[in-house]
C-alpha cells in the first residue's frame, strides 16, 4: 500500500482574500483538507512538478537529458506564471485529498535524488470520483457565501504517491491524458497521407455541417458538454446521410420487426446497425453497443446530473472518426 494525495485547485470568481490574511484553512480531516489562498503556488508545488516532468517526458527530450532539473524548474515557472495570469486577484480553493492505495510501480520506474517517476500506476479518475461528493459540497458552501452564487474556474488537478520512506512518486500516463487522447509523433513522411485525406474530404459532398460540428468537437477551448453534443450531433447527421447510401443495402433481418415495413420508419439505432453491418461487418455488434450507450447518455443530459469531465468525448470522437473516414472518398455521403 502507498499513500496518495489528490489535488484540485479552483479560482473563485468574485471572491478575494484580505491582504493581511492571504491564506487560511477552511476545513481539515483525515481524508481531505480545504484551503483558501491568494497564492496557491506552495500548495500546488508537487503536482506542478509532476506536470513539468510529464512535459519533459512527452515533448522536451525525456528524463535522460543532463539538464533535467533545470528543464523541470523552467517549466514549473511557466506553469505558475500562466496560473497567476488566470487567477488575477481572485481567491483560490485548493483541495488536498488523502488515502492509501495499492499501486504497484511499473518495472520501468526511474528513481532520482528528490523523486521517483512511475508510469500508469494511478487511476486518477477513480481518485477524483472517490472524493467528488466532499469537493462538490465545499464548492457549494463557498458559492453561497455571496448573494449570487460564485462560479469556479478549474486551475489544476493531479495526484502523486508517497512511499514508506516519504519519497514522492510522480506518475506519468502514456495511455491517455486528461482529455482522452494519446500523443503521437508525425514525420514529414506522414504529410502525403494527410494530404490524401484532405483531398478526399474536399471532394466528398454533403458533409459541410458534419465537418463544422467536428471542428467544434476538436476545439480544445470548448467545454466537454459542447464537445460531446457537437460530436453526437455529427454522428446523427452522418448516419442519416450514410444510411441512404449504405444502409439500404442491408436487410434488417436480425432486428425486431418495425410497425411498418418501410425503410423510412427505421429508428436511428436501426439505421446505425445497418450502416455498420455494411461498412464494418466484423465490428457491427461492438459498435452498435457503443452507439446505444452514447445515445442513452445523450438523452439523459436533459434530466440527469452529469459532470462534464465524465462525458465520453473521446469515445464520441473515435466513433465519429471511424465512420466518417469510411464515408469520405465517396461522391456523396
Higher model confidence: residue 182 or residue 20? 20
Per-residue confidence (pLDDT) for residue 151, from 0 to 100:
82
Mean pLDDT to the nearest integer, 24-28: 90
Tens digits of residue pLDDT in 75-99:
999 999 999 998 988 899 999 999 9
Per-residue confidence (pLDDT) for residue 195, from 0 to 100:
77
Residues 6+ apart with CB under 8 A from 283: 276
Mean pLDDT to the nearest integer, 178-200: 62
Mean pLDDT to the nearest integer, 118-125: 85
Residues 6+ apart with CB under 8 A from 83: 9, 40, 41, 44, 155, 156
Residue boundaries of the structural domains of the chain: 2-172, 188-327
Nearest to 319 by CA among 251, 236, 215: 236
Phi, psi (deg, nearest 5) at residue 182? -105, 155
Rounded CA-CA distance 123/173 in Å is: 9
Nearest to 95 by CA among 158, 20, 14: 158
pLDDT grade, residue 185 (50/70/90)?
Answer: very low
Tens digits of residue pLDDT in 243-272:
887 766 665 555 554 444 455 678 899 899
Read off the C-alpha cell for 258: 418495425
Higher model confidence: residue 62 or residue 50? 50
Per-residue confidence (pLDDT) for residue 307, from 0 to 100:
57
Q: Do you know the residue count of the chain? A: 333
Per-residue confidence (pLDDT) for residue 282, from 0 to 100:
92
Residues 6+ apart with CB under 8 A from 302: none
Per-residue confidence (pLDDT) for residue 177, from 0 to 100:
41
CA distances from 254 to 236, 242, 268, 275, 279 (A): 22, 20, 16, 14, 17
- The answer to whether residues 328 and 205 touch, using CB atoms and an 8 Å cutoff, is no
Per-residue confidence (pLDDT) for residue 62, from 0 to 100:
64
pLDDT at residue 180 is higher than 50: no
Amino acid at each position: 500500500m502507498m499513500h496518495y494525495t489528490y489535488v484540485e485547485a479552483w479560482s473563485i470568481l468574485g471572491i478575494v482574500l484580505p491582504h493581511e490574511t492571504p491564506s487560511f484553512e477552511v476545513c481539515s480531516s483525515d481524508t481531505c483538507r480545504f484551503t483558501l489562498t491568494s497564492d496557491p503556488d506552495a500548495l500546488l508545488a508537487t503536482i506542478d512538478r509532476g506536470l513539468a516532468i510529464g512535459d519533459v517526458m512527452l515533448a522536451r527530450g525525456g528524463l535522460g537529458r543532463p539538464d533535467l532539473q533545470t528543464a523541470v524548474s523552467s517549466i514549473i515557472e511557466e506553469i505558475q506564471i500562466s496560473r497567476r495570469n488566470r487567477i488575477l486577484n481572485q481567491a483560490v480553493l485548493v483541495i488536498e485529498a488523502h488515502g492509501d492505495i495499492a499501486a504497484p510501480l511499473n518495472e520501468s520506474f526511474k528513481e532520482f535524488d528528490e523523486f521517483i517517476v512511475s508510469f500508469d500506476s494511478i487511476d486518477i479518475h477513480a481518485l477524483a470520483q472517490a472524493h467528488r461528493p466532499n469537493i462538490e459540497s465545499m464548492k457549494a458552501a463557498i458559492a453561497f457565501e455571496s448573494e449570487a452564487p460564485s462560479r469556479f474556474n478549474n486551475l489544476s488537478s493531479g495526484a502523486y504517491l508517497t512511499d514508506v520512506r516519504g519519497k514522492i512518486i510522480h506518475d506519468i500516463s502514456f495511455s491517455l491524458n486528461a482529455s482522452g487522447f494519446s500523443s503521437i509523433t508525425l514525420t514529414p513522411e506522414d504529410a502525403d497521407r494527410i494530404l490524401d485525406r484532405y483531398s478526399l474530404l474536399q471532394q466528398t459532398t454533403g458533409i459541410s455541417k458534419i465537418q463544422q460540428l467536428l471542428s467544434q468537437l476538436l476545439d480544445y477551448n470548448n467545454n466537454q458538454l459542447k464537445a460531446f453534443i457537437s460530436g453526437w450531433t455529427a454522428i446523427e447527421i452522418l448516419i442519416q446521410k450514410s444510411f441512404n447510401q449504405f444502409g439500404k443495402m442491408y436487410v434488417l433481418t436480425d432486428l425486431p420487426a418495425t410497425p411498418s415495413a418501410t425503410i423510412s420508419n427505421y429508428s436511428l439505432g436501426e439505421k446505425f446497425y445497418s450502416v455498420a453491418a455494411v461498412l464494418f461487418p466484423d465490428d457491427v455488434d461492438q459498435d452498435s453497443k457503443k452507439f446505444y450507450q452514447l445515445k442513452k447518455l445523450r438523452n439523459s443530459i436533459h434530466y440527469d446530473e452529469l459532470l462534464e469531465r465524465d462525458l465520453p468525448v473521446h469515445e464520441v470522437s473515435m466513433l465519429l472518426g471511424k465512420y466518417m473516414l469510411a464515408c469520405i472518398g465517396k461522391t456523396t455521403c
